[in-house]
Structure 1
């Protein structure tokens, strides 16, 4: 049975109640003293009371009202003091603060609830920022170490021409890896702060896919991969440069993880409101744990292949497709292969 949350009373209700209690106490005390004064008559004077009745009423009312105000006020304002203290801790970088949300004052309970949500989001952002710094540092460290190591070896005058060429080739590859990494970081940083696509034009989407495959021919050619293309002619309105980045990344991954003699299939289908592109392979596939994280920055499911990429390709794909108003999904099984389904909004012009 679902428990009902107790209905919170507003802050105004508590203060009105406080004032009402003070006035009621004052009137009650005034009535009692007035009754005693009338009943006893001049007995108060005969006993030479040092305090006139009016002053006595005021004194007792002040004492009673102050006591009630301090007691209730401290209880009501204590959560506000806790909020101020917690805000000071957050300003110092402490994101482990948590406020009690069970207060019966509705406004205070809501403030505590949203404060906790804010702290949780700040904690998540801080974790992502720290992970980003660590990952970037690691990704830059590896090629820089390679460049330094091979440059040191080149200072040896006894090197043969073959060794010299090998070391210079490794330096060039590491420098290209740094260039790609820094370029991808700049791209994804720009796209994450961008809400709308610019520089959109109309172009042949099927021809763009063919061009992407031609650009990747040096990668899939030596592996003797079979290409199965089913591309219908259609025109698409979008950012041509960014969409080329999508195809190169997805197709590049398919080529990388498909063994020699494997097959890559690419289909493109127009629809009344969506364009559907499916890129599948007969590669090594992915376990569910890997598949869950492939669109996260710097994530690499196979550490042994970390030198072949930097874990930014698929996050770029996801962000570009999102900006284009589309979706990207992946299905994969270890040892069977992977299939990426990309849907882009229409309408579509078919020719």
Structure 2
């Protein structure tokens, strides 16, 4: 140990310090200090310069490490946040079909690779979008052509059936066969219309002509038409109708009624009961069709409005399983809903369509009394390239006393019109060579707006066709198949409208499509 100083003679002598200093841990010497003080000893402690330097270096290193960590954290945060911000901007650009540019500040290889992959994805998405648009146009063209090709023979069949009905058969069996053909033509027509309509609905191509109308009146008119066609003869159909005004498309509401009642007829045995009710329930108009037919299981009732759905017990009844799907979509397009319920197999079914009510104005309720139509014979030019359709329709119109001239193409039709100066020209818009629209434009230019009634006869039925017909100068537009009787009524309406236009020129020429005339 080092030198110790002793107390002697009653006074303290200074301690002689040598060249080396005792290094002690103050914490461990605390008890010794106390003892030394009690014994009169003096204790000196110290720390070497090297230890002080070591402590300082450790402190400096600690501060430097903290600062370096902060810088690295900031750098890392920027490397994370900048790519995320760029990815967010890239996603926004992708959704708006805008271009994506790489920021120059991001040099990380992985981010650059991700940007290239994202750019490739954007280009692929744009290519898919272009392909889908092209495919959608092809679908439109396909359905338009399918509509035309199916409606043309149906139109010829409808006209031929009506001719046979007027002539009559030699015996009851022949007349019964004519009735069967007529019913099947109507059934085929409904199937074609439903198929084309559901394709338009699912692609968002169906247009509506909505206005205030009385749901009860449309329902009654639809059922009377079904009764006239003999569709209600084998069942007991009861009507419970009260006024309920809705803002809807009349033709589409009639289609809803026809499909619901047709469904009830299909699945209700002969002499079964069908109740059709229209009522207002608060702010909702309800159309309800209840039948005493075969009913549905709960599982089928939950999906009966899905496309192509048919119950096992209903497959023998025929159909494509699209009528109720169309009901649901048509109701929803007009702000309504469709529901189905059944107590089970053998207990009948209830189908309900709800639509928001509208307050009908006085103008909508006050309908002027219809004037009797002029049934005098007309001079008619029929321009139709389908020979069967042209000949049957020409024969049927001639049987009504009209003088009919025919033409198989647009150029011949224009020459015939110029030669005979008819009251009415019925023009198929799908003519070879000059289209029906071009024929109408040339006839309007040559004969003026009101000298000849022009009726567009088409198998296409596309929404754009009505606009094109209006621009070409047609007075009326009707889709095939159309019976000669309906066509005569349409001509009478168009001729009456022409007479009113001559006395009041502000009345527009073309009305809404006359498929329900």
Q: 1:340 aligns with which of 351, 363, 374?
A: 351
Indicate whether 1:314 and 2:324 are aligned. yes
Q: Which residue of 2 aligns with 1:150?
A: none
The one of the two structures with greater contact order (alpha-carbon pairs below 8 A, sep at least 6) is: 1
Evaluate the alpha carbon distance shift between residue 179 and residue 232 of structure 1 in structure 2; reply closer, same or farther with a 3 A threshold. closer
Q: Which residue of 1 aligns with 2:87?
A: none
Whether contact under 8 Å (1:191, 1:319) holds in the other structure is yes
Q: Which residue of 1 aligns with 2:306?
A: 296
Compute the displacement of 1:173 (Å): 6.3
Q: Which residue of 2 aligns with 1:96?
A: none
User: For each residue in 1:195-247, what CA deviation from the matched residue of structure 2 results, as whole angstroms up to 9, or x when unmatched?
Assistant: 77325243x32232223333333333224x353x3322344443222111111
Question: Any residues of structure 2 matched to 1:1-351 within 5 Å, and which?
Answer: 13-14=81-82, 73-83=108-118, 176-192=186-202, 193-194=204-205, 197-202=208-213, 204-217=214-227, 218-223=230-235, 225=236, 227=238, 229-301=239-311, 302-306=314-318, 309-332=319-342, 333-348=344-359
Compute the displacement of 1:75 (Å): 2.9
Compute the displacement of 1:250 (Å): 0.4
2:108 match: secondary structure? helix
Task: Measure the CA separation in 1 of the matches of 2:194 and 2:237.
Answer: 29
Compute the displacement of 1:248 (Å): 0.8
Q: TM-score, normalised by structure 2?
A: 0.36
Compute the displacement of 1:270 (Å): 1.4
Q: TM-score, normalised by structure 1?
A: 0.51
Task: Measure the CA separation in 1 of the matches of 2:309 and 2:347.
Answer: 21
User: For each residue in 1:318-348, what CA deviation from the matched residue of structure 2 results, as whole angstroms up to 9, or x when unmatched?
Assistant: 2221121111111122221211121111234
User: For each residue in 1:138-193, what CA deviation from the matched residue of structure 2 results, as whole angstroms up to 9, or x when unmatched?
Assistant: xx9xx99xx9xxxxxxxxxxxxx999999988877665554333322333344453
Task: Measure the CA separation in 1 of the matches of 2:182 and 2:276.
Answer: 33
Task: Measure the CA separation in 1 of the matches of 2:179 and 2:266.
Answer: 21
Unaligned runs of 5+ in 1: 1-8, 17-68, 94-117, 148-160
Q: CA RMSD in A?
A: 4.6
Whether contact under 8 Å (1:216, 1:252) holds in the other structure is no
Whether contact under 8 Å (2:264, 2:293) holds in the other structure is yes
Task: Measure the CA separation in 1 of the matches of 2:119 and 2:257.
Answer: 51
Say how many residue pairs are matched: 232
Evaluate the alpha carbon distance shift between residue 310 and residue 88 of structure 1 in structure 2; reply closer, same or farther with a 3 A threshold. same
Whether contact under 8 Å (1:262, 1:281) holds in the other structure is yes
Whether contact under 8 Å (1:195, 1:323) holds in the other structure is no
Whether contact under 8 Å (2:331, 2:355) holds in the other structure is yes
> 1 or 2, which has the higher helix percentage?
1
Compute the displacement of 1:87 (Å): 6.0
Whether contact under 8 Å (2:304, 2:340) holds in the other structure is no
Query: Considering only CA atoms, is the larger Rg found in Structure 1 or Structure 2?
Result: 2
